[in-house]
Amino acid sequence: MAKQFLSGDEAFAYGIRLARPHVISAYPITPQTIVVEKLSEFVEDGSLKSEFIHVESEHSALSCAIGASSVGARAFTATSSQGLLYMAECLPYAAGGRFPIVMMNANRSTALPWNIYGDQRDSLSQLDSGWIQAYAENAQEALDLALLGYYIAENKAVSTPFMANLDGFVLTHTYEVVDVPSQEQADEFLPLFETENKMSLEKPKNLAFSAGPDTNSIFKYKEHIGILNAKSVIAEAEGKFEAIFGRKYTGLTENYQTEDADYILITLGSISGLVREIVDKLRKNGEKVGLLKIRYMRPFPNEEIAQAVKNAKAVAVLEKDISFGNEGAVYTNVNSALQKAEINIPSSNYIGGLGGKNISPQEIEDIFAEIKSGISDIKFLGIGGV
C-alpha cells in the first residue's frame, strides 16, 4: 500500500488499473475526463494491459463495453451527465443482458440550462435502469468502489452492472491523500471474471434475444432478484475488503450518531462530510441529531433506513436532485421505506446543490432547526417551498 495525493477521478483510475479490465471504452466529458486520460497514460506506460478503445460517443462507449462483456471480458467505461443520458438506451440493455460492467459516473447537472458542475440529477434519473448505484463520499472510497464494484457486479448471483458515482468537481477534481493498494492485494481481493453468460467458440450462444409476453416477466423477475442479491454480496465483499485492506465499509448506508437521534438528516455523496461536521457541532450543544448516509441507491436500503430512523422524531432528505412535478427521487424512495415499515414521522425534502451551488454549513444547521417544527415540507434550499 502506498499513500498518494490524488483527485477522485485519478483515484478511480488507480482502482480500475488494479482491477485490470480487458477493455476500456472511453469518450471524454467534463468532469469525467481525468479518469480516461489517466487510464490512457497507464496503458501507454505499460502498467495496464487493456484494450483502450477511443469510441466516438457515449452510446458507443457502453455498447462497446457490452460487446466486450458478452464474450466474457471485464469491461470499464466512464461518463457524466449528458453522456450518461446519451448512452441511456444501453443502460437497461447492459442490465437486462446481465453484463457486469463497471462504470464511473461523474455526477453533473443536466441541460438545460447548460451547466458542468455537480448535482445528481443525471444518475438519479437512471435509477430504474437496472444498475447497482453507489455514491462515493471521498477519493478513497472512489478508488475502493472500483474494486468492490467488480467484485459485487461479477458475483454469479448478482450479474448486474455497477455504477459508481462521484460528485462532479467536489470529488472528481479535489485532491486528497489516498491509500493505493498493491497489485498483489488487489489480486487477492478480486477474483478473475468467470461467467457462463458469454459467447465462446467452445460453446456458441445466442445472447440479447427477444422474449415475448409469455417469458418476458421471468427475465425481469430474475433481473430484479439479481440486483437484490447484491445486498448480501456487498456485505461479503466489504468483509473481505476489510480483511485485506483494513478499511471498513458499512453496506448500503452509513449511520452517524443515529442511535439516539431525534432528528436525522438523510443524504448521499460528498455533502455527507459537511453534514457530519454539523452533527458534531450540534451534538456539542446537546442536540440529538444524526446523519444517515445512503451509499447505495440501488439496491435501495429500505430496511436499513427504517432501522436507523425508527426512533427519530423527524427526518429530512437533502439531495441534489428534483423529479420535476413531484419531489426529489431520493425523498420518494425514503418515504416508501418509512411507509413500508409503518414509521409515521414528519419527513421533509430539501433540494440543494443543483448545478454545483454550494451548500453552506448554516443551511445544514437550518435544516436541523426547521424539521423540529414537526411539519413535512418540500423546499429548494435558498429559494423556498413549493
Partner 1 sequence: MAVTAKTLNETEFFYGHKACAGCGGSLAVRIALKVLGENAIAVLPAGCMSAVGFNFPQLCFGNNAIISTFAGTASMLTGVQAGLKAQGITDFQAVGFAGDGGTADIGIQALSGAIDRNDDILYICYDNEAYMNTGIQKSSLTPFGAKTTTTPAGKNIHGNIRPKKNMFEIVAAHGIPYAATASVGYLNDFMKKVEKAKSIKGTKYIHILAPCPTGWGIKTDETVEIAKEVVDCGLWYLAEYENGNFTLNHKPNEFSDIEKYLKKQARFKHLTDGDIEIIRKSRDEKWEYINKNFK
Nearest approach in angstroms of CB 73 to partner 1 is 3
Cα–Cα dist 53/73, whole Å: 14
Nearest approach in angstroms of CB 380 to partner 1 is 36
Nearer to partner 1, 210 or 344 (CB): 210
Nearest CA to 18 among 172, 143, 198, 157? Answer: 143
Nearer to partner 1, 72 or 382 (CB): 72
Cα–Cα dist 100/116, whole Å: 28
Specify whether the CB–CB gap between 97 and 208 falls below 8 A: yes
Any contact of residue 245 with partner 1 (CB under 8 A)? no
Any contact of residue 89 with partner 1 (CB under 8 A)? yes
Strands (E), 251-301: 253-256, 263-268, 289-294, 296-298
Any contact of residue 212 with partner 1 (CB under 8 A)? yes
Any contact of residue 222 with partner 1 (CB under 8 A)? no
Cα–Cα dist 143/38, whole Å: 13
Which residues in 40-59 contact partner 1 (CB under 8 A)?
A: 49-51, 53-57, 59
Find the angle CA(16)-CA(20)-CA(22) to the nearest 5 degrees: 115
Nearest approach in angstroms of CB 132 to partner 1 is 21
Cα–Cα dist 369/366, whole Å: 5
Any contact of residue 324 with partner 1 (CB under 8 A)? no
- Long-range CB contacts for residues 39-47, cutoff 8 Å, separation at least 24: 39/13, 39/76, 42/13, 42/17, 47/17
Any contact of residue 205 with partner 1 (CB under 8 A)? yes
Any contact of residue 70 with partner 1 (CB under 8 A)? yes
Interface with partner 1 (CB under 8 A), residue from 182, 200, 217, 360: 200
Interface with partner 1 (CB under 8 A), residue from 72, 96, 251, 346: 72
Any contact of residue 206 with partner 1 (CB under 8 A)? yes
In a 3-state reduction of DSSP, which class is residue 196?
coil
Compute the residue count for the chain.
386
Nearer to partner 1, 102 or 275 (CB): 102
Element (H, E) at 65: helix 58-69
CA distances from 148 to 136, 186, 250, 252 (A): 12, 10, 13, 13
Any contact of residue 207 with partner 1 (CB under 8 A)? yes
Nearer to partner 1, 25 or 253 (CB): 25
Nearer to partner 1, 77 or 172 (CB): 77
Residue 118 burial by Cβ neighbours in a 10 Å radius (0-12, 13-18, 19+): buried
C-alpha cell at 238: 466489504
Specify whether the CB–CB gap between 364 and 265 falls below 8 A: yes
Nearer to partner 1, 82 or 335 (CB): 82
Interface with partner 1 (CB under 8 A), residue from 7, 30, 32, 60: 60
Interface with partner 1 (CB under 8 A), residue from 8, 67, 130, 149: 67
Any contact of residue 84 with partner 1 (CB under 8 A)? no
Any contact of residue 90 with partner 1 (CB under 8 A)? yes
Nearer to partner 1, 73 or 186 (CB): 73
Nearer to partner 1, 93 or 249 (CB): 93
Which residues in 95-154 contact partner 1 (CB under 8 A)?
A: none
Nearest approach in angstroms of CB 66 to partner 1 is 6
Cα–Cα dist 97/20, whole Å: 22
Nearest approach in angstroms of CB 194 to partner 1 is 12
Specify whether the CB–CB gap between 288 and 312 falls below 8 A: no
C-alpha cell at 96: 437486462
Nearer to partner 1, 60 or 105 (CB): 60
Number of residues that bind partner 1 (CB under 8 A): 42
- In the complex, which residues of this chain contact partner 1 (CB under 8 A)? 22-23, 25, 49-51, 53-57, 59-61, 63-73, 75, 89-90, 93, 199-201, 204-212, 215
